[in-house]
Amino acid sequence: MTSQRRAVLIAGPTASGKSALALERARSGGGVIINADAMQVYDTLRVVTARPSPEDEALADHRLYGAVPAGERFSTGQWVRSVETLIASLDPSRELIFVGGTGLYFDALIHGFADVPEISAALTFEVQQEIQALDEPERMALLLAEDPATAQRLKVADPQRVTRAIAVKRATGRALSSFQDSQQPGLLENWALERMVLSPDRDVLRERIARRFSAMFENGAVAEVEAIRAQNLDPALPAMKAIGVREISDWLDGVHSREDAITLATIATQQYAKRQRTWFRNRMGDWPRLGLGGAPL
């Protein structure tokens, strides 16, 4: 009888000690660490996105880190397919350790993912421009006209969801809700799962974020931003939106002082961590909570 496959899922906001905990777990049990962070999939920005260092990667098997060129878009669907291929290639006896701050990735692993076709950046931008000046009732009215089935499922017509639904409908001719209704089961269905959300004290996390970005500035972040700027990439690409890229770019261009760049990037990271915590609280409310680096709360 084949034994049940095992996976550990370590989620949490940025700077909460997830990578260190995953490394400790992998080294003690010979597991495979799999990146579940949407920014850490891109190359060029190891320091800026707080990817594991080369030294840490040498201590355990790390996968899907820096695997995608910064000049490409890498969707959740592509990540899921990459994980599916990876799972099939690994020894079933090895424990898989998924670690990251992208809640949607964990959701896809457990509950499945609606594999919506890739929508062009040009079409998405066109829809964004079209709804930019609309208020919430006007956005809902537009969505009702274009995709009533999806509109009926939305409690609030926020710009991101409306843009997504309209772009999908215009690109495919199908309602976004129809893709959601044909969602495939999660990749880890019937696996033995150990789940955790790292949720350190808010003030401690804010201080760690502030210290980390200052250290990034000293340890290669500037060179990485210079390297990605040299590629002359579309500013709308996900990698170009990584926190720190714009702030350091503005410093390099003389828009901000070094201190202001660090402050602005730190504030943006703290705001991002707050959004992550809200997502985990709303969507992973039943996951065990641990403190900094996995310490019991």
Q: Which residues participate in the annotated binding site for substrate?
A: 14-19
How far is residue 67's CA from residue 263's CA, in Å, rounded to a whole number?
30
Ranges assigned E (strand) in 138-225: 192-198
**Please, what is the Cα angle at 45 between 197 and 196, to 5 degrees?**
5
DSSP-derived 3-state class of residue 250? helix
How far is residue 238's CA from residue 243's CA, in Å, rounded to a whole number?
10
Q: Measuring CA to CA, how many Å separate 13 from each of 10, 79, 109, 211, 280? A: 10, 20, 18, 15, 9
DSSP result, 200-231: --HHHHHHHHHHHHHHHHHTTHHHHHHHHHTT
How far is residue 262's CA from residue 61's CA, in Å, rounded to a whole number?
32
Specify binding-site residues for ATP: 12-19
* Cβ neighbours around 126 below 10 Å, total: 14
**Would the CA dihedral through 214, 219, 220, 222 be positive or negative?**
positive
Specify binding-site residues: 12-19
Q: Which amino acid is it at 36?
A: A
DSSP-derived 3-state class of residue 117? coil
